[in-house]
Amino acid sequence: MSSDKEYDVCLLLEGTYPFVAGGVSTWIHNLIKGMPELTFTAVCILASSKEKAKYRYDVPDNFVDPQIVYLHDPVEISQNPFKKISRKDMENLRRFHYHMDRNDISMMREMVELFRDGKFPLSELFHGKKAWDMLVERYKPDTNDESFIDYFWTFRFTHLPIFKMLPLDLPKAKVYHTISTGYAGLLGVIARVMTGRPLLLTEHGIYVKERKIEISQAEWVYRKKEERLRIDSKLGAFQTFWIRMFEQLARLCYDYSSSIYTLYEGNRQLEIQEGADPDKIRIIPNGISLDNFLGLKAEDHDYQGQTEFAVGFVGRVVPIKDVKTFLRAIKIVAIKIEKLKVYIMGPTEEDKEYYEECVNLVRLLHLEDVVEFTGKVKVTDYLPNLDVIVLTSISEAQPLVIMEANCAGIPAVASDVGSCRELLEGRTVADQALGPSGLVTKVADPVSTGEAILKILTSPILRQRMSRAGIERVKTFYKESDLNKTYLTIYKDYMAMDNLE
Q: Distance between CA atoms of 323 and 190, rounded to whole angstroms?
A: 38
Q: Distance between CA atoms of 11 and 184, rounded to whole angstroms?
A: 9
Q: Distance between CA atoms of 418 and 263, rounded to whole angstroms?
A: 9
pLDDT, tens digit, for every residue of 184-207? 999 999 999 999 999 999 999 899
Residue 302: the pLDDT is 67
Answer whether 424's CB lies under 8 Å from 402's CB: yes
Q: Distance between CA atoms of 50 and 83, rounded to whole angstroms?
A: 31
Q: Distance between CA atoms of 145 and 267, rounded to whole angstroms?
A: 37
Q: Distance between CA atoms of 271 and 292, rounded to whole angstroms?
A: 33
Among 320, 36, 309, CA closest to 206: 320
- Coil vs helix vs strand at 344: strand
Residue 229: the pLDDT is 37
Strands 40-46 and 371-375: unpaired
What type of residue is 331? K
107 φ, ψ (degrees, to nearest 5): -95, 5
Among 264, 254, 251, CA closest to 201: 254
Q: Distance between CA atoms of 489 and 493, rounded to whole angstroms?
A: 6
Low-confidence ranges of the chain (pLDDT < 50): 1, 222, 225-232
Residue 91: the pLDDT is 94
- Coil vs helix vs strand at 286: coil
Q: Distance between CA atoms of 432 and 487, rounded to whole angstroms?
A: 26
Neighbours of 130 (CB within 10 A): 18
pTM of this prediction exceeds 0.85: no
Q: Distance between CA atoms of 436 and 317, rounded to whole angstroms?
A: 28
pLDDT, tens digit, for every residue of 336-364? 999 999 999 999 998 999 999 999 999 99
DSSP class per residue in 407-453? HTT--EEEES-TTHHHHHH-SSHHHHTT--SEEEE-TT-HHHHHHHH
Residue 83: the pLDDT is 78
Q: Distance between CA atoms of 438 and 466, rounded to whole angstroms?
A: 6
| 86-95: b (≥16 Cβ within 10 Å) or e | eeebbebbee
Residue 72: the pLDDT is 87
Per-residue three-class SS string for 58-126 = CCCCCECCCEEEECCCCCCCCCCCCCCCCHHHHHHHHHHHHHHHCCCCCCHHHHHHHHHCCCCCHHHHH
End-to-end CA distance of the chain: 24
